[in-house]
Structure 1
Amino acid sequence: MSLPPSAPLPPARWWQSLILAIQFLTRLPTPQLRSFHPEWLAASARWFAPVGLLLGSLLWLAVWLGAQYDPWLAALLGLLLWIGITGGLHLDGLADLTDAMGAAHRSRERFFEVLKDPHVGSFGVIALICAIVSKLVLLMLLARQPRLLAGLLLLPAWARLFALYWSATLPALAPGSGERFAWQPQWRVQVVSLLALLALSAWLAPALLLAPLAGLLWRGWLKRKLGGMTGDCLGAGIEVCEILLLGLLLIPLPGIGWH
């Protein structure tokens, strides 16, 4: 397992780390950086929640526009944008983790062997179908309730903040992006982002005040099943938590009920 560099490197400027965060989490066009150090990826994690808000804004816009015609169209537009703008990055992690868990048969060596395999097996295909169908149906149900759509602005930010929390509190099981994020836990950033998202949730989508429970549940599952995390575990967790939070938005609350 690689370690943080012992020799000091030039720190990434705020705009460099922002560009790296956008490049890592999305397929949005960005300026090209003239230089890059892998260690800068850890510094870019401070922008995970803000980039999540950017994703949420685009997701909300796609669903809102589609909802002017039909809820199913809204769900389809939202899903296609969601997958397209992230490049299926986290879905890939979900498929890899599911394949590894299904084929490991309690063998740690087999787990990592399958996790590194670029091919998608039957377990991964089933997980992908379930995740995509779940998001499509839940987005359709949200599109039928325009007052609930504001939660889409915050949902990707919550899930990406969770990834930063998981990487900082679980041991890395293998070298990779998940391990690099753990080099700089960004605790101050995590606390500020958490408070900001709680405040925005209280204003826009009170149901998401329960969002941290989803992050804690996934961390507990990783701790119990694997004893740590990898980059694929973080990606899979983002997908699972996004689905959980979509369902959470549909829970009727006083003043935000079904009509």
Structure 2
Amino acid sequence: MRRLVLAMQLMTCLPLPPVKADEGDFAAAIRWFPATGMVVGACVAGGLMLGGRVDPWAGALLALLVWVAMTGALHIDGLADIADAVGAAHGDRTKLSLVLADPHVGSFGVTAVALQLLTKLVLLRLCAELVPAWWLIGVAMAARMGPLFWSRWLPPLHEGLASRFRDGVRPAHLLGWSAVAMLFAWWMPGLLIVAALIPAWAMWLRARIGGISGDGHGAGIEIVESALLAALVLTS
């Protein structure tokens, strides 16, 4: 339970009590990232249904606001940083590292965030009409399986919390959460595309960035979420 609370504190803005934890607990918290996604997805689904009582667009907007608020825009910030780094570095790894370390957001990052929010808003509007709201639980859960795989597959870009996650993931955790995703896919077959999305992001990061960091995890979660929403809409 302690590690689940740590995962919730790392991945959401929910007011949770402080817990005593050591380095091993922080590393192992990644095992519970998909569970935090289920909580986020349930709240987003609630926003979609509640706003949908007024209008489908109101439901989509409320769901998006809940999505951003619950995560504290953490993953969107990662997307902005990755976009800025790739856009400004032009293949120069040294410059890329410098841009990733810069706390300011540039034009590439602003553009990426704007497009991401618009994409999610439109897809949530379509979901309000075409799919059951509870499917969003599966979307948020499956997207947060990504960090477990990326931590195992990719070298860390630098020392930090993200670099310690690798020690917290075992093959059993990958298989267990994959089984949960398969269970969701029984009702929502479009979710199966996550099996291609997660390795695709890993390959892109290895080729363009050289490894994984907190920004890479956040950006990957955002991109996988949007792609899964699109897959659900297209297969509904």
TM-score (norm 2): 0.95
Contact 2:86 2:208 (C-alpha < 8 Å) held by counterparts: no
Asked whether 1:241 is paired with 2:227, we answer no
Give, as a single letter, the amino acid of the residue that structure 2 aligns with 1:214: L
Contact 2:91 2:208 in 1 (8 A): no
Partner residue, 1:26: 12
Which of 162, 178, 187 is the equivalent residue of 1:194?
178
Residue 125 (structure 1) shift: 0.5
User: Does 2:30 match 1:45?
Assistant: yes
Q: Map Cα deviations across residues 229-256 of structure 1 (whole Å, 9 max, x no partner).
A: 111111100011111001001113xxx4
Rounded to whole Å, the distance in 2 between the matches of 1:109 and 1:142 is 42
For 2:138, the equivalent position in structure 1 comes to 154
Task: Give the Cα separation in 1 of the matches to 2:170 and 2:100.
Answer: 27
Contact 2:149-2:174 within 8 A present in 1 as well = yes
Pairing of 1:155-170 with structure 2 (within 5 A): 155-170=139-154
1:124 Cα offset (Å):
0.5
* Higher share of residues assigned helix: 2
SS of the aligned residue for 1:29 comes to coil
Equivalent AA in structure 2 for residue 110 of structure 1: K
- By how many angstroms is 1:150 displaced? 3.0
Give the fraction of aligned pairs with identical amino acids, expressed as a percent.
Answer: 39
1:4 alignment partner in structure 2: none
Instruction: Look up the match of 1:172.
Output: 156
**Structure of greater Rg:** 1
- Give the SS at the match of 2:186: helix
**Aligned-pair CA distance for 1:156:** 0.8
Q: Which runs of 5+ in 2 are unaligned?
A: none
CA contact (8 A) 2:24 2:168 kept: no
Decide whether the 8 Å contact of 1:148 with 1:249 is kept in 2.
Answer: no
Deviation at 1:216, TM superposition (A): 1.7
CA contact (8 A) 2:34 2:177 kept: yes
Separation in 2, partners of 1:101, 1:208? 28
Amino acid corresponding to residue 196 of structure 1 in structure 2: V
**Which segments of 5 or more consecutive residues in structure 1 lack a partner in the other structure?**
1-14
Spell out the pairing of 1:16-95 with structure 2 (5 A cutoff). 16-33=2-19, 35-95=20-80
Question: How many residues get paired?
Answer: 236
Q: Note if 1:141 corresponds to 2:126.
A: yes
Superposed CA RMSD: 1.3
Task: Give the conservation status (yes or no) of the 8 Å contact 2:30–2:147.
Answer: no
Instruction: Name the counterpart of 2:205.
Output: 222
